[in-house]
């Protein structure tokens, strides 16, 4: 699959090769869409499409049939707008910041309105333009992060004039525990959201994220918002992953050596070689998004052989114990797998004590990126 990593000159100028499989991304989109039908699947492409490059990912999702794209900030939406056809809708999850209304309206971006203040600012913009402006209305169904609190939603429902000039495309809320299918908070949030959504019967619901897309039809609403699952991440924590892997990361060996027993390995000299050891240093580190918490815990792979990380992760390099490989297997420029068929995103995240989201979104800018 990666024979053409033999683009050596480019590879050797970078800290590693990040391969992003746009066909797998499209397959994941279609799988989610089929599961969610008759609801529609949006694509969440915030944070540069979870670090994978929104300018490549969003058009690939569009080609797979996606027409609804969620980002966190207006700036992200403005960057993507010219890259997508005019029938693509772009939504801003973090809401409408004061002063951003004109730019948002002019670019045809749909804000998620999270408070009465934001609603008032958007209706004022509609009045000033003598037009109707689209929006999503978000309710807090129990996460306490963003959205109208229940009492504000109830008050708003008795005062429809306050929404004059706004076309509510969907009512929306967000699950806090969707990656844990047995967590009782899921059903509690669904019930809370259904009750508030019923106050605005003209708008259809937008509720499920990746995990929520697999919780059953009652969670699907009219428009779901999967992110992580599109990028191959597991929708449910610790359960089998139905998504196709999208990301592969290979990092080159930049030096090999044999060290005698008693050698202190890496920053701090904390790891002391108990015997003679064979080591390889690879050319990516925490500045490339490989967390320092992988020190003495994580691994890379060469073929089917696991190569443990020894000592501390450095900014630009990591030392591996390659004693399990036949001598001479690795040399300057050999590529080892950091994310791939032997080690999933979730494996790396678990070794680092974090989640797949954080590993993905931090994948560094120094990798040579190949989109296929
Ligand atoms: C990030 C985000 C999503 C996507 O979540 P995933 O777990 O990646 O599917 C959906 N909705 C909101 C409000 C978000 O912030």
Nearest CA residue ID for atom 4, ligand 1: 227
Cα(44) to ligand 1 centroid in Å equals: 7
Per-residue confidence (pLDDT) for residue 7, from 0 to 100: 53
The answer to whether the peptide bond before residue 369 is cis (omega within 30 degrees of 0) is no
User: What's the CA gap between 140 and 44, in Å, rounded?
Assistant: 19
CATH 3.20.20.10 domain residues, the chain: 22-231
Q: Does domain 22-231 have CATH number 3.20.20.10?
A: yes
* CATH 2.40.37.10 intervals, the chain: 247-371
Look at ligand 1, atom 3, and give the residue with the nearest C-alpha: 209
- How far apart are alpha carbons 232 and 305 in whole angstroms? 23
How far, in Å, from the CA of 107 to the mean position of ligand 1?
Answer: 23
What residues contact residue 102 under an 8 Å CB cut-off, 6+ apart?
Answer: 125
Ligand 1 atom nearest 146 alpha carbon: 13
**Domain 247-371 indexed as CATH 2.40.37.10:** yes
Tokens 């050999």 map to which residue?
334
What phi, psi does 207 have (nearest 5°)? -135, -50
Share of the chain above pLDDT 90, in %: 96
Cα 301 from Cα 149, distance rounded (Å): 49
Q: Say if residue 1 carries a ligand binding annotation.
A: no
Going by C-alpha positions, the residue among 329, 320, 286 that lies closest to residue 300 is 320
Can you give the pLDDT of all 372 residues of the chain as single tens digits? 444 555 555 677 889 999 999 999 999 999 999 999 999 999 999 999 999 999 999 999 999 999 999 999 999 999 999 999 999 999 999 999 999 999 999 999 999 999 999 999 999 999 999 999 999 999 999 999 999 999 999 999 999 999 999 999 999 999 999 999 999 999 999 999 999 999 999 999 999 999 999 999 999 999 999 999 999 999 999 999 999 999 999 999 999 999 999 999 999 999 999 999 999 999 999 999 999 999 999 999 999 999 999 999 999 999 999 999 999 999 999 999 999 999 999 999 999 999 999 999 999 999 999 999
Of the residues 29, 113, 225, which should be mutated to test ligand 1's pocket, given the most ligand atoms within 8 Å of the CB? 225
Ligand 1 pocket check: which of 42, 93, 211 to mutate, most ligand atoms within 8 Å of Cβ? 93
C-alpha span between 336 and 306 (Å, rounded): 10
Tell me the CA distances in angstroms from 151 to 33, 87, 154, 196, 283, one per residue in order.
34, 35, 5, 10, 54
Q: Which residues line ligand 1 (CB under 6 A)?
A: 44, 46, 93, 174, 209-210, 225-229
For residue 39 the two structure tokens come to 């609801």
Q: Whose CA is nearest to atom 6 of ligand 1?
A: 227
Can you say how many angstroms the Cα of residue 50 is from the centroid of all Cα atoms in its chain?
3
Q: What's the pLDDT score for residue 9? A: 55
Place of tokens 């892997």: 245
pLDDT of residue 12: 74
C-alpha to C-alpha distance for 231 and 20, rounded to whole angstroms: 9
User: Which of 147, 209, 221 to probe ligand 1 with, by most ligand atoms within 8 A of CB?
Assistant: 209
Q: In sequence order, which residues have a C-beta less than 8 Å from that of residue 251 and are 6 or more positions away?
A: 15, 16, 17, 282, 283, 284, 300, 318, 335, 336, 338
State the closest ligand 1 atom to the C-alpha of 213, by its place in the atom list counted from 1: 9
CA 196 to ligand 1 centroid distance, Å: 20
Neighbours of 11 (CB within 10 A): 19
Q: Whose CA is nearest to atom 12 of ligand 1?
A: 174
d(CA 248, CA 355): 17
Per-residue model confidence (pLDDT) at position 13: 83
Neighbours of 134 (CB within 10 A): 18
Q: How remote is the CA of residue 11 from the centroid of ligand 1, in Å?
A: 33
- Counting every residue written for the chain, the total comes to 372
145 labelled binding-site residue: yes
Q: Which helix (H) or strand (E) holds 321?
A: strand 318-321
Position 172 scores a pLDDT of 98
CA 363 to ligand 1 centroid distance, Å: 19
- Residue whose Cα lies nearest atom 13 of ligand 1: it is 174
Q: Active-site residue numbers?
A: 46, 267
Which distant-in-sequence residues (6+ apart) come within 8 Å of 7 by Cβ?
A: 368, 370
């Amino acid at each position: 699959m990666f024979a053409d990593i033999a683009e050596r000159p480019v590879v050797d100028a970078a800290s590693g090769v990040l391969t992003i499989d746009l066909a797998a991304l499209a397959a994941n989109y279609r799988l989610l869409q089929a599961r969610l039908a008759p609801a529609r699947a949006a694509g969440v492409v915030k944070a540069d499409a979870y670090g994978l490059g929104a300018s490549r990912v969003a058009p690939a999702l569009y080609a797979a049939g996606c027409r609804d794209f969620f980002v966190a900030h207006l700036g992200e939406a403005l960057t993507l707008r010219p890259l997508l056809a005019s029938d693509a809708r772009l939504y801003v999850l973090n809401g409408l910041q004061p002063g951003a209304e004109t730019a948002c309206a002019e670019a045809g971006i749909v804000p998620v309105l999270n408070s009465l203040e934001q609603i008032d600012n958007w209706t004022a913009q509609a009045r000033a333009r003598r037009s109707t402006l689209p929006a999503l209305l978000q309710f807090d169904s129990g996460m306490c992060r963003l959205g109208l609190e229940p009492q504000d939603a109830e008050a708003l429902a008795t005062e429809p004039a306050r929404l004059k000039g706004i076309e509510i495309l969907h009512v929306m809320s967000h699950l806090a525990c969707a990656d844990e299918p047995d967590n009782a908070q899921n059903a509690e949030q669904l019930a809370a959201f259904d009750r508030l959504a019923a106050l605005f019967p003209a708008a259809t619901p937008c509720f499920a994220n990746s995990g929520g897309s697999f919780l059953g039809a009652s969670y699907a609403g009219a428009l779901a918002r999967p992110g992580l699952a599109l990028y191959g991440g597991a929708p449910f924590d610790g359960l089998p992953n139905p998504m196709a892997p999208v990301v592969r990361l290979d990092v080159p060996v930049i030096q090999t050596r044999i060290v005698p027993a008693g050698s202190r390995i890496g920053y701090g000299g904390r790891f002391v070689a108990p015997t003679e050891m064979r080591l390889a240093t690879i050319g990516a580190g925490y500045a490339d998004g490989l967390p320092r918490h992988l020190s003495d815990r994580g691994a890379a792979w060469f073929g089917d052989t696991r190569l443990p990380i020894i000592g501390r992760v450095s900014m630009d390099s990591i030392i591996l114990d390659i004693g399990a490989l036949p001598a001479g297997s690795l040399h300057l420029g050999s590529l080892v797998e950091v994310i791939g068929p032997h080690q999933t995103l979730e494996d790396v995240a678990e070794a680092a004590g974090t989640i797949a989201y954080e590993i993905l979104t931090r994948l560094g800018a120094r990798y040579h990126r190949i989109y296929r």
